Amino acid sequence: MADPSAAAERFSVRRLFEDPTLAGATPSQATVAPGGRHVAFLRPADENRERLSLWRYDLRAGRLEPLIVAPSDNVEPSAAERAERERWRRFGGGVTAYAWHPDGQRLLATIDGAAWLCNAETGAMSALMQRGETPLGITLSRTGRFVSFTRDGELHVCNVATGEARRLTDDAGDTVTNGLPEFIAQEEMHRFTGHWWAKDDRRLAFTRVDTAPIPVSQRFEAHGDRLDVVQQRYPHAGGANADVRLFVLDMDADGAVGQRRELDWREGGFDYLARVAFAPSGALIAQVQSRDQRRFAVKRWAPTGAGWTTLFEETQDAWVNLHDNLKFTGDGDAFVWTSERDGHADLYLHDGEDGALQRWPSGLDGVRRVLWADAEAALVAGWLDDPTAQHLYRVSRGGVPSEALTAGDAWHDGAVDAAGTVCVVTTTAPHVPSRLEAIDLAGEQRARIHDGAVAPGHPYHPFLSRHIPATFGAIAAEDGQRLHYRLTPPVGADAGGKHPVIVHVYGGPGVQRVRREWGPLVTQLFAQRGYGVFELDNRGGAGRAKRFEAPLRGRLGDVEVRDQLAGVAFLRGLPWVDGGRIGVFGHSYGGYMALLCMAKAPAAFAAGVSIAPVTDWALYDTHYVERYLGMPQENPEGYRQSAVFPWLDGLRGPLLLMHGMADDNVLFDHSTRLMQALQERGALFELMTYPGAKHALHERHVAIHRHETILDFFARRL
């Protein structure tokens, strides 16, 4: 544990969000070029963390250098770009996305909303479209001959060689867009693409989205100088979704459109188009879901066939999880897949035609991501024994044990080139913010590209001697399953006395917070000011066996709260914890959990902070809520019991409520209804709202003010 008397700085809230970022220039979106010579990644500028530049590492020469340095000035994105970044949870400017050209020598880069082609050897740049044209969904075709994008709701294609652009669709309108995913596809299915190229660029599939079936609702966005009334078609639980149609265009070598065909992917009673991809053979593979998400199918459409063929179906009593683990293994339609049909995610192989799924045992407790595969081997990210650590494995067929490519008390992820020759590995660990290395998979030679160790010169080094390391452990849930936690003690915990603890909670499905990684430095803000910080992954969270997730089905905010209370009981058994001064703090689902923890267990929590909370699941979107609660018409009591309002009479302790006043995800309505309900009960609470801020509350001035306000609240109340 750090010595509280050590001669070192204690960083302030303002310093946490100033430049350079205390985590260091952490690489993101690392990829390997076709051919395996270069690795590219994005990195924030030292002088402005919100400006991302593109870096390149030459594996032959061992040379690292910036390839595209973004201008230092922040560029205000359009409203459409802001919405797209909000869905991606990517808020930086500069180089916001990039893709390698198939020749491995060029890259397509999106820089502040404009598309550029960059030579990876020389850094020479050529503009394909200018800023102000507001292209969205910018995509490089599979051969690299074309760039496709949506502008003004219409799908376009640009010839890379000539720069000539042409429009491919002509029916966009107030409710119709072509080539872009609908809101719930982005927000909940994590499908961020609305059009897909065939391998030879001779076909282009795209979605036509019409939101007309969704009733118009008014959303008020309060800014500092104005009030905007947004006419929004938000798909509330139990209501209508957008009409999503799928088309395939035949293209010639110049990008001209030939035949246009509509493919009815709904055949068989499916409601959601979850994933689309062209197989190397030219067949189209679609993944579709039923409305209740308990039934899922993978379908194949061949250009010369008679329609869709269902390759296989998945069913679950709870729900079928979506993933991006379909990886084609060769030049045909065969692919590797992960399924939870046996209770945990493992590998399977399908021939892409008329065969059944064949089990491909990995020997792991869970396969989270398939990075690359052929018919004989796969490279995966997963876990064995401890779900809080993630490693990369080579999994061979034929009963050969999985081979670990990484080791240590850490969290690893990676990306592999198309040939499976080079893997770029990103690493974070409790003692290291970031590391990036490349592995030659044939000889397993390793090249260190970025070492983010907190050494002299690192932005966090002046504060390192006061850094308080976390401890990891697990407690038992009431059904015997292990609940993993991360506990950061406060300064002085080993010197005796009793200290307050803040339970930092998320608690929602689809997320795992407790990882063997460099923890969020917000935790250090609290710990260095005398608070312990406790984080527990309750049942319902992601990254474990299906049995761990399924208890949420039919009702939210029940087992999650009970598991958090088991964590409080554990805390009260620690000698340094003051059991009468335990607070709770969370954002989004965590804000919802903070409210329920305080209302359902007023004796357990002395104070709480709830940020952008869901308060009534009937106000949230179809795909997310119905996955867990079903349709409100079929489960009205489950919806009622899952809302916060039936439990508010139990809320006793001091509450700080915070919300962005332009939130388009968890709408501000959630908090206004909560305010009214608390006022009707005569319950006192504190309130802080942020004009113009959306759900992530990511703006720097908002982040600084928000955390200063939280610290002030807990200082007064805890």
Q: What is the pLDDT of residues 646-668, one digit of tens each?
A: 999 999 999 999 999 999 889 99
Section 340-354 average pLDDT: 95
> Is residue 82 scored above 80 in pLDDT?
no
Strand-strand pairing, 577-587 and 607-611: parallel
Which two tokens mark 606?
């002395």
Confidence of residue 525 (pLDDT cuts 50, 70, 90): very high
Q: What is the pLDDT of residues 635-648, one digit of tens each?
A: 999 999 999 999 99
**CB within 8 A of 679, min separation 6: which ones?**
none
Q: Which one, of 611, 613, 590, lies nearest residue 669 by Cα?
A: 613
Which residue bears the tokens 């030879």?
A: 200
Residue 701 falls in the annotated catalytic set: no
Alpha-carbon radius of gyration of the chain: 25
Section 168-178 average pLDDT: 96
Q: Which residues pair with residue 414 across a beta bridge?
A: 425
Going along 340-498, which residue ranges are E strands?
346-350, 358-360, 366-373, 377-383, 391-396, 403-404, 411-416, 422-429, 432-440, 446-451, 471-476, 482-488
Q: Which of 148, 290, 434, 588 is catalytic?
A: 588
Confidence of residue 609 (pLDDT cuts 50, 70, 90): very high
Residue 362 falls in the annotated catalytic set: no
Give whole-number Cα distances, 698 to 55, 59, 693, 705, in Å: 25, 36, 8, 11
The SS3 assignment for 559 reads helix
Q: How far is Cα 206 from Cα 198, in angstroms, rounded to an integer?
A: 11
Helix (H) or strand (E) holding 304, with range, is: none
pLDDT of residue 618: 96
Q: Which of 670, 695, 698, 707 is catalytic?
A: 695
Residue 434 falls in the annotated catalytic set: no
pLDDT of residue 365: 96
Q: Where are the domains of the chain?
A: 466-717
Q: Which residues pair with residue 57 across a beta bridge?
A: 39, 64
Which two tokens mark 206?
């795209």
Q: Which one, of 244, 205, 36, lies nearest residue 120 by Cα?
A: 36
Give whole-number Cα distances, 484 to 476, 493, 515, 568, 585, in Å: 9, 21, 9, 13, 18
Section 452-457 average pLDDT: 96
Q: What is the pLDDT of residues 224-271, one digit of tens each?
A: 999 999 888 999 999 999 999 999 999 988 877 889 999 999 999 999
Q: What is the pLDDT of residues 540-555, one digit of tens each?
A: 999 999 999 999 999 9
> Is residue 85 scored above 70 in pLDDT?
no
The SS3 assignment for 191 reads coil
**DSSP 8-state assignment for residue 361:** -
pLDDT of residue 413: 98
Section 490-499 average pLDDT: 93
> Is residue 57 scored above 90 in pLDDT?
yes
Residue 177, amino acid: T
Section 467-485 average pLDDT: 97
Q: What is the pLDDT of residues 392-449, one digit of tens each?
A: 999 999 877 789 999 999 999 999 999 999 999 999 999 999 999 999 998 778 999 9
Q: How far is Cα 277 from Cα 286, in angstroms, rounded to an integer?
A: 7
Low-confidence winner among 2-6, 67-71, 176-180, 337-341 (lowest mean pLDDT): 2-6
Q: Is the dihedral of CA 28, 33, 34, 35 positive or negative?
A: negative
Give me the phi and psi of 193, to 5 degrees please: -120, 145
pLDDT of residue 3: 44
Q: How far is Cα 446 from Cα 424, in angstroms, rounded to an integer?
A: 10
Is 3.40.50.1820 the CATH number for 466-717? Answer: yes
> Is residue 7 scored above 60 in pLDDT?
no
Strand-strand pairing, 48-58 and 93-100: parallel
Section 16-45 average pLDDT: 95
pLDDT of residue 220: 87
> Is residue 361 scored above 70 in pLDDT?
yes
Give yes or no for a contact between 117 and 67, defined as CB atoms under 8 angstroms apart: no
Q: How far is Cα 290 from Cα 147, in angstroms, rounded to an integer?
A: 33
Q: What is the pLDDT of residues 112-166, one digit of tens each?
A: 888 999 998 888 999 987 666 778 999 999 999 999 999 999 999 999 999 899 9
pLDDT of residue 4: 41
Which two tokens mark 257?
């459109």
Q: Which of 663, 664, 670, 671 is catalytic?
A: 663
Residue 663, amino acid: D
pLDDT of residue 255: 79
- Half-sphere exposure of residue 658, counting CA atoms within 13 Å on the CB side? 27
Q: What is the pLDDT of residues 8-30, one digit of tens each?
A: 678 999 999 999 999 999 999 99
> Is residue 369 scored above 90 in pLDDT?
yes
pLDDT of residue 218: 87
